[in-house]
Amino acid sequence: QRIDGCEWDETTGEVIGIIQYHYNGEDFLEFDLKKRTWIALKPEADVTKQKWATDQPGIKHKENDLTKICPDYLKL
């Protein structure tokens, strides 16, 4: 299961983005937008975290989705 989206504060312009993965109903992996890194929430997620952490184009894509594209939809 994946949850992704953003919140946009109309007054301050602050954007909070979220990407979380869950497995069997439990937290598994999440993206820390401020640090631009993945966080393993279970030991089993470490292998995936290490693989995704080296994918700089993928991280840049996620960052763009959360800070540009998602807020643009909210502003419509």
Mean pLDDT estimate for the chain: 94
Residue 75: what pLDDT? 85
Instruction: Specify the CATH number for the domain of residue 49.
Output: 3.30.500.10
Structure confidence at residue 8 (pLDDT): 87
Residue 15 belongs to what domain range?
2-75
d(CA 71, CA 48): 28
Longest dimension (CA), the chain: 40
32, containing H or E segment: strand 26-32
Percent residues over pLDDT 70 in the chain: 100
Q: Which pLDDT belongs to residue 76? A: 79
The number of folded domains in the chain is 1
Q: From the centroid of its chain, how far is CA 41? A: 13
**Which residue stretches of 1-75 are H helix?**
46-53, 56-64, 70-75
pLDDT tens by residue, the chain, 76 residues: 999 999 988 899 888 999 999 999 999 999 999 999 999 999 999 999 999 999 999 999 999 999 999 999 988 7
pLDDT at 13: 86
